[in-house]
């Protein structure tokens, strides 16, 4: 989830995030699944478009045996990219339109963000996308090893309080399965406006088999060539924070 202004709320255990009779592991989820009321048009997007954009059976309820997704059946022979917490969907749709020969899966548990993305998909007319409205950890369960060519983590929840740093994405709980599903040589992009998130990212990501491709701190505020500024980045600028753009590569071995 990419909304940094809902960073101190914990969702109570539910079947989507906790243990249940299917044998799903206990996974705490911190944040919200839904915010303010959706507009009628957004409800329409969810009702009419979401099911058709599903990447397959991802949740434990749908797939208790954790059968791997058929990415070739979903996208053909295309490389597949993964966006972790797509927020309002600006970046994901931009990437899909810029790279029509790539398939992009987006994961986002915040349903308001999912609805915003669906509206942007309609407007842009992109077809090389799939949407999972849930926790990316469930997606990791059903992706085969070395199946993803690129991953994005853009303005993740900062969890600024020190006691909450273990909730950040850049911890072994998330990074180890991400490393497993990325192909050798795959690119992992991280954007954040929080200096301490940069610190933790630089400390934890290399431990999971990644090399930082832009080690010079003077380059960390250089946008990627195909970047589009998101609503969360604009908020950072308004509040006087500077974005950082870190590029990692999955090691060959």
> Which residue in 79, 157, 193, 216 is the catalytic one?
157
DSSP class of residue 165 equals G
- Alpha carbon 226 to its chain centroid, in Å, reads 18
**Distance, CA of 139 to CA of 66 (rounded, Å):** 10
What are the structure tokens assigned to 207, written together?
A: 């431990």
What are the structure tokens assigned to 15, written together?
A: 């079947």
In 3-state terms, what secondary structure has residue 190? strand
**Distance, CA of 26 to CA of 13 (rounded, Å):** 9
Query: What is the CA angle 175-166-67, rounded to 5?
Result: 40
Contact 158, 7 (CB under 8 A): yes
Residues in Cβ contact with 153 at an 8 Å cutoff, skipping those fewer than 6 apart: 84, 85, 169, 170, 188, 189, 190, 191
**Distance, CA of 96 to CA of 104 (rounded, Å):** 7
Q: Dihedral of CA 214/216/220/224: which sign? A: negative
Active site includes 157? yes
Question: Which residue numbers are catalytic?
Answer: 157
């Amino acid at each position: 989830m990419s909304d940094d202004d809902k960073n101190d709320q914990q969702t109570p255990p539910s079947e989507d995030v906790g243990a249940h009779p299917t044998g799903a592991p206990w996974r705490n989820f911190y944040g919200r699944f839904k915010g303010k009321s959706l507009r009628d048009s957004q409800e329409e997007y969810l009702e009419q478009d979401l099911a058709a954009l599903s990447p397959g059976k991802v949740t434990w309820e749908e797939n208790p045996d954790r059968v791997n997704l058929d990415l070739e059946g979903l996208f053909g022979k295309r490389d597949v990219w993964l966006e972790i917490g797509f927020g309002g969907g600006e970046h994901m749709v931009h990437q899909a339109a810029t790279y029509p020969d790539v398939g992009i899966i987006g994961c986002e548990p915040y349903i308001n963000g999912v609805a915003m993305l669906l509206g942007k998909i309609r407007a842009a007319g992109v077809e090389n996308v799939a949407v999972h409205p849930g926790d990316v950890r469930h997606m990791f369960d059903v992706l085969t090893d070395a199946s993803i060519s690129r991953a994005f983590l853009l303005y993740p929840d900062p969890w600024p309080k020190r006691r909450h740093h273990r909730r950040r994405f850049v911890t072994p709980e998330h990074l180890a399965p991400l490393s497993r599903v990325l192909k050798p040589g795959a690119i992992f992009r991280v954007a954040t406006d929080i200096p301490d998130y940069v610190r933790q990212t630089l400390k934890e990501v290399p431990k999971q088999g990644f090399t930082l491709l832009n080690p010079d701190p003077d380059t960390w505020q250089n946008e990627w060539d195909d970047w589009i500024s998101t609503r969360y980045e604009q908020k950072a600028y308004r509040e006087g924070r500077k974005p950082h753009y870190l590029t990692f590569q999955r090691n060959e071995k």
